[in-house]
Amino acid sequence: MTKQNNRIPDLFITGTDTGAGKTVLSLLLMQYLYSKGADPFYLKPFQTGCKNSYDTDSDARFIYSHVSQLKGKDPAGSVIYCYRNPKAPFFAARDQGETIDLKVVEKEIIEKRLSYNPLIIEGSGGLFVPVAENSMVIDVIKMTHASTIVAARAGMGTINHTLLTIEALNRRKIEIAGIVLLDSGNKLTSQTMIGENIEALETVTGGTVAGIIGRIDDFSKPAADWYEPVEKIVENLQATHKAAYY
């Protein structure tokens, strides 16, 4: 019997595409993990579409503004590269005459792991968004060795987008912690369509849909129901990784 590893596996939040709900899912994970006594750290390696980490469009600022344990702390520490133009990180960096070095990202992740557990790493857009020359988001996920949560829209089109994402992750042998559907648009998806989408996804993936997150009125105090998918994912991961050390 080997010694049990008490670390919670790091989680990489990827989306089926831009605007699928990665930041909201990251927020719920941070809030949930703090409530359970963990010491998580939110990391956004590549932020585009804002001037700096304090901009109103900064994902890090959003997280720090709605997690009570982070209020008053500096969100700049959660962003490695930040660029003005709202486009793929590789091109946004090139627009400013800069390049992204993935070794810098890897070093930052290794250093953060020494002080925090787990890391909640939020990607940029979907898996095949370019982040550096000859490197995409999926390459960054592989580099982090983190388990992946897929944030997907609850409505029309999600079956195709989500299954393509899952297939790509499986081909790279990247651990999938779960799929979470987010339904936060101005017009909510019908329960019939949500049920059909879940049925289709679970038929192919073998039951990896952790749940649905609906519209959140107060991001500082989301309804208890919206934590259920992240709770399920974290508990399943802990149980799986605990068993692996025996």
Q: Pick from 184, 185, 194: which is nearest to 162 by CA?
A: 194
C-alpha to C-alpha distances, 89 to 3, 55, 92, nearest whole angstrom: 40, 17, 5
Q: Model's pTM, two decimal places?
A: 0.94
Q: What are 83-106's pLDDT values in tens digits?
A: 999 999 999 999 999 999 999 999
* Superfamily of domain 11-243, CATH level 4: P-loop containing nucleotide triphosphate hydrolases (3.40.50.300)
- For residue 53, the model assigns a pLDDT of 95
Q: What is the mean pLDDT of the chain?
A: 94
Give catalytic residues, as residue numbers.
44
> How many angstroms separate the Cα of 28 from the Cα of each of 13, 22, 114, 169, 222?
12, 10, 23, 23, 8
The domains of the chain are located at 11-243
Report the pLDDT value the prediction gives residue 235, as an integer from 0 to 100.
94
Residue 184 binned pLDDT confidence (cut-offs 50, 70, 90): confident
DSSP state of 39: B
pLDDT over threshold 50, residue 204? yes
